[in-house]
Chains A and B, each alone.
Chain A
Amino acid sequence: MTRASLSLINDTPSILHRYSFGDNFDEMFDHHANPRELFLGVYQLLNSLTKQQLNIRQKASDLSFLNQGITFTVYHNSESSEHIFPYDLIPRLIDAQQWRILEAGLIQRTLALNLFLHDIYHEAHILRDKVIPVELVYTCKHFRREMIGINVPNKQYITLAGIDIIRDHHGKWFVLEDNLRVPSGASYVLSNREASQRAFPSLFNQYGIRSVNHYPQLLLNALKELAPHGKQDPMIVLLSPGAYNSAYYEHSFLGAQMGVPIVEGRDLIVHDNHVFLRTTQGLQPVDVIYRRLDDDFLDPLIFQSDSLLGVPGLFNAFQAGNVALANVPGTGVADDKAIYSFVPAIIRYYLQQEPLIDNVTTYLPENPEHLDFIKENIDQLVIKPVGGAGGYGLLIGSQASDTEKQVCLEQVIKNPRNYIAQPIIRLSTSPCYIDSRLVSRHVDLRPFVVFGKKPTVLPGGLTRVALKEGSLVVNSSQGGGSKDTWVLTG
């Protein structure tokens, strides 16, 4: 594989001059540094623009994000600070044919995980048939014993899934992880689209790009489907931890766009196993809660007793079938990173199908052979905590010091259930406009699956960018940004 650099093929001092991506798989250029056919329109536009013109567009986007309050909060020690969610101008493109495969794979995965959740909280056939080790499920932090035997509306545990997918250095797609508890990021998909439409209106005329603007309606319709007793015009609310939560922008945006009240625990009250809103007009019954709180904080009477964010009695009202929760408590067991390694088996078990998108090879330290492998090959592995999120707590073997690796291994040996290991995958790169230069940065993709009557995938999703040169960590809390993802019609 040759080290590709556009400086070899491009004599004009355009913005693309000197763009290089090493031996990574680049979304826009092939290994001969030729623009992929799909990207020709973007390539030609970038070639015609000066730095000044791009800077104006970037500044306008940044200012728009700032004024709209598109920010997130980073907590460090006891201090918190508000940051603009970094947005990169250059879109990522996915052609229709490729998207069809991804879409089918994501739907397949969501359907299987939903069946898995129903099964483990009822008959647990999959455990009896020893497809998954019993102890792996029952030792999962997010397995909720309280959910055993509870029938949820339409047997639907997952209303919204955010499934992270990546491409390796050959361009092959893999699922990296499933997010089924309170997946976030959809609001940024919409904001990014608005920004890219302003920055490159001509490209929207040139390409047929599938819309993402209907997402709030899609989600609202899916939530309506959950209404207890088939109520026609249910009262739906979005339950947020409050304005100081790092994802509050997303909560307020989605609540406003769906046209449903954004509430906190203090706005709700449970009486006689029914949930009510405290309003100036008295108590108003609530039918469906799109909750953006982790299970632990939902109800202090059942889960974490010192939580002030939740609503006392909420779980009982849910159990009585008087209110629906999306997603259902206990879905987290299906996005545990150790369970993840069994998702292909889960798909085969429930759907009798082969997975359409592969998993990344995963090693479970609880397995002695895997542990030996991890010890011997930690330099080539990423070690992740199974319940982690936001990129916190992971160790990339190739970038860690001997001491860090040693400490990490000790923790893994001490508590093997809490970790997994995966080979370090060089994520694909995409051109990003940073500090007035076009540079390659690693990216992943978080598409969103909305499960109403049937699962629907929002075309595209959130392409997350590791803004730091060479970094493989795309999480916003770790210095990541995002860019718009265009799924083309065709």
Chain B
Amino acid sequence: MLCSLADNLFWLGRYLKRADHMIRLFEVNLEIMTNSNYHLTEYRWWLMLTSLGIVPQPNKSSTREDEIFKLYLFDEKNYQSALYCIAQARMNARQLRSIISSEIFERINELFLAVKSATPQEDQDSRWHDFFKKTKSQLNLIQGSTQEVMLRDDGWAFLQLGKYLEHLGSVASLLNVFFSDYQDQVGSQVKPSDYIEWVGLLKSVSAFESYLKVHTNNLKPELIVDLLVFSQVFPQSIRYSVDKIFSALKKIKECSKQPMQDQEIHEALHGLEVVSKSGGEEFIHSNRGVYFNEIQRKCIHLNNLIYKTYIEFPNSYFVN
């Protein structure tokens, strides 16, 4: 695997997941805010943007919905927008045509063209709904195509590594912001007035229906944490992402003559493993913020370690 292609695959995975996460967050937030009882619109947008790692600039963006949509969904030049992520995914995919199938490229290209040309009108709320639905469907199609046709080699591992590292950081950030705002709810059933927020959290990571299936409509913070953080079988959980990252690194190591050292992997992921052994109730009473911050820090560290080992080819290395 060419180093540059490994880089392309890693970022293809990251950008697609980032775009997916953003689209879902926007959809859920819009849904919550169109609820007639909702009065905290500006605060809600602030929370969402913060969870995405975006610090809203007072002179550049306002909390007006249409401004936010324009800037963070459709501004191709704004590196924090969904369209930028999709454009970057497409650019990476263009360079990967010898690795990914033409079907996958075409799906990514179609997604880019659709989002770039999307102009939902302010006065037609239903068009937003259609836009999000269609975009999510296209993103799912891309994930499905890659799942079906890509070889399970080190290229696949780099794609998965990017995808799950991105997801890990995104979910950790989302939960961090959410829990810092809802400390009072811990340990009891969620208040009816906050019900919509908790449902929103679950829907942000496509977890609401899975939650109902496992716990019925009995929303409790510790059970929600169980699903979103510790579940080994729910693909959007932190635990699941960590497991996938481990598997991807193992596969890359098998294929490489310059493998990342075991110790380095363990160091990079240490902490995630420890916490993943505890349960929701124990976790909910612990210092959650520190844990989520640590995950985000580990994600950055791991990203740098992957770059150092596999992407930025060590100049000192030569064949004897």
Taking beta carbons and an 8 Å cutoff, which residues of A are in contact with B?
66-69, 243, 248, 252-253, 255-256, 259-264, 266-267, 269, 271, 276-283, 285
Contact = CB atoms under 8 A, between A and B. Distances in A.
A263 B8 CA distance: 12
Contact of B98 (A67, A259, A280, A281): A259
Nearest to A277: B2
Interface string B1-31: 1111110000000000000000000000000
Contacts of B313: 269, 278
B170 to A, nearest CB: 25
A267 B311 CA distance: 11
Contacts of B40: none
A283 B319 contact: yes
Interface in B305-320: 310, 313, 317-319
Contacts of B255: 280-281
A248 B2 CA distance: 18
- 10 nearest A-B pairs in the assembled complex, by CB-CB distance: A252-B97, A278-B313, A256-B98, A256-B97, A282-B257, A280-B310, A280-B1, A278-B3, A255-B98, A69-B109
Given A252-B95, A261-B98, 18 more contacts: A68-B102, A68-B105, A68-B106, A69-B94, A69-B105, A252-B94, A259-B98, A262-B95, A263-B4, A271-B318, A279-B1, A280-B2, A280-B3, A280-B154, A280-B258, A281-B154, A281-B256, A281-B257
A387 to B, nearest CB: 30
Most central of A261, A267, A281 by chain B CB within 10 Å: A281
B312 to A, nearest CB: 10
Interface in B16-65: none
B110 interface: yes
User: Contact size class for B?
Assistant: 20 to 34
Given A281-B256, A282-B257, A252 B113 contact: no
A281 B113 contact: no
B91 interface: yes
Given A262-B95, A279-B2, A282-B317, A67 B109 contact: yes
24 contacts: A67-B106, A243-B91, A243-B95, A248-B94, A252-B98, A256-B97, A256-B98, A261-B5, A262-B97, A263-B2, A263-B4, A264-B4, A271-B319, A277-B2, A278-B3, A278-B313, A279-B1, A280-B158, A281-B1, A281-B258, A282-B257, A282-B258, A282-B319, A283-B319
B264 to A, nearest CB: 16
Interface in B272-320: 310, 313, 317-319
Nearest to B306: A280
A64 to B, nearest CB: 9
Interface string B99-114: 0001001100110010
What does DSSP make chain A's interface, helix, strand, loop or mixed?
mixed
A66 B3 CA distance: 29
Nearest to B108: A69
Contacts of B317: 282-283
Nearest to B6: A280
Contacts of B318: 271, 283
B201 interface: no
B252 interface: yes
A261 B257 contact: no
Nearest to B91: A243
A260 B5 CA distance: 13
Interface in B130-147: none
Nearest to B101: A256
Most central of A261, A277, A278 by chain B CB within 10 Å: A278
B94 to A, nearest CB: 5
Contacts of B3: 267, 278-280
A317 to B, nearest CB: 14
Contacts of A261: 2, 5, 98
A283 B97 CA distance: 22
B110 A67 contact: yes
Contacts of A283: 317-319
Nearest to A238: B98
Contacts of A262: 95, 97-98
Contacts of A280: 1-3, 6, 154, 158, 252, 255-256, 258, 310
A192 to B, nearest CB: 16
B248 to A, nearest CB: 12
Contacts of A264: 4
A256 B4 contact: no
A12 to B, nearest CB: 39
A68 B110 CA distance: 8
A66 B112 CA distance: 11
A276 B319 contact: yes
Nearest to B310: A280
Nearest to B7: A280
Contacts of B258: 280-282
B113 A66 contact: yes
B154 A256 contact: no
Contacts of B94: 69, 243, 248, 252
A68 B103 CA distance: 9
Given A69-B109, A281-B257, A255 B97 contact: yes
A68 B106 CA distance: 5
Nearest to A285: B319
Contacts of B6: 280
Nearest to A237: B2
B2 to A, nearest CB: 5
B109 A68 contact: yes
A446 to B, nearest CB: 23
Nearest to A260: B98
Contacts of A67: 106, 109-110, 113
Contacts of A278: 2-4, 313
B242 to A, nearest CB: 22
Contacts of A255: 97-98
A68 B107 CA distance: 9
Contacts of B158: 280
Contacts of A285: 319
Most central of A264, A269, A280, A283 by chain B CB within 10 Å: A280
Interface string B59-96: 00000000000000000000000000000000100110
Contacts of B2: 261, 263, 267, 277-280
A410 B204 CA distance: 69
Most central of A67, A68, A69, A255 by chain B CB within 10 Å: A69
B90 to A, nearest CB: 8
Nearest to B100: A256
A279 B6 CA distance: 8
A262 B258 CA distance: 23
Contacts of B256: 280-282
A117 to B, nearest CB: 30
A281 B256 CA distance: 4
A332 B94 CA distance: 29
